[in-house]
Amino acid sequence: MRSDQTRLKFIKPQEPLLVLEVPLSDDWLHEIKYDGFRTQLILDWAGGRAFTRTGIDWSKRYWPIVAALEKLPAKTLILDGEVIAPEADGRPNFHQMHSRMAWNAELLAFVAFDILHKDGKDLRALPTIERKAILWNVVKPAEGIIQYSQHVEGGGAEFFAAVDKMGLEGMVSKRKNSPYRAGKSDAWVKAKCWDVADFELIGVKRERGKQTEGLMARDGKYVGSAVIATNRSIKERLLRRLERARAEQPAGVPKAIAGPSVEWVSPGITARVRYLRGESKLRHASVQDLHDEGT
């Protein structure tokens, strides 16, 4: 290592807050929320490196991306973005991430959405819109393994509708004039699209002063809870079913889920649930309808 120069260090990334309504003001720019692994690329005098969201060095896993980083027109860089497994149409396929990381890393791509450092200058105090202009000049034409995250200014509702129609996970909105600050900040917000699907209702959780929740499973595996927001007649039918068809706690349900407020339901009830897209467990979920095979 050269004694006259230390290496650039990982910077804790800025994180968006989850919101249920997108910003509508023209003070915001909007980007697609890419479904992959948040990654920070660092280039300095000793070469390129790639770090996970928490600062773990994954340079060897992402070696083609690191090689592409070292060819960019800059001596030093810190780029913020997402590593994705793109399909032929450019859409990210999260389910292919681990396979490509292990066997086909050259089929991964890095979508750059921010730049924190360039050629000895810390850019974090600059407005977001200015940082993105600098970023574009570094990564253009942005058609290869390192890509540029396109954005629109204003029109948040229309952008969200387009993202939803394309079947993407959601969007990230950023205040155009905000600096880059590590950690969670309301200058960045993410809004996720909604999905509706059928799940197995395996239990009901009732607590005084709280909304009634249904415990859901898919293929026998617990996936989370959803507020039972159906009409009164459906709720009453469900409660009658509980009275006559109580069951034991199913296998595969975490022990922490069980408790005196939970009543287990015998198999046969399907719940149609609305929930946030792209989550491993149900979030902000609500039951839209119930179908009881026993009635």
CATH label of the domain that carries residue 211: 2.40.50.140
Residue 3 lies in a domain: no
Task: Indicate the number of domains in the chain.
Answer: 2
What are the Cα distances from residue 89, in Å, to 81, 130, 166, 170?
A: 19, 29, 11, 17
Pairwise CA distance, residues 82 & 134, whole Å: 18
In a domain, 8, yes or no: no
* 247, part of any domain: yes
Distance of CA 281 to the CA centre of its chain: 12
| pTM exceeding 0.85 | no
pLDDT tens digit string along 56-113?
999 999 999 999 999 999 999 999 999 999 988 888 888 889 999 999 999 999 999 9
Tens of pLDDT, residue by residue over 191-208, are: 999 999 999 998 888 888
CB 44 within 8 A of CB 4: no
Which of 39-53, 144-158, 211-225 is the least confident region? 211-225
Band the pLDDT of 292: cuts 50, 70, 90: confident
Give the DSSP H or E segment for 158: helix 156-165
- Domain stop point among 143, 161, 192: 192
Give the Cα separation of 137 and 141 in Å (integer).
9
Q: For the chain, what is the mean pLDDT? A: 90
Select from 163, 192, 221 the last residue of a domain. 192
Tell me which residues are annotated as active site: 33
Does residue 247 share a domain with residue 134?
no
CA–CA separation, 64 and 48 (whole Å): 11
- The residue among 250, 228, 249, 248 whose CA lies nearest residue 239 is 228
Q: Residue 267: which domain range?
A: 194-292
Domain annotation covers residue 284: yes
Residues 186 and 204 in one domain: no
Q: Which of 136, 164, 192 is at the close of a domain?
A: 192
The answer to whether residue 7 is domain-embedded is no
Any domain includes 5:
no
Same domain, 158 and 67: yes
pLDDT at 252 over 80: no
79 and 182 assigned to the same domain:
yes
| CATH at 64 | 3.30.470.30
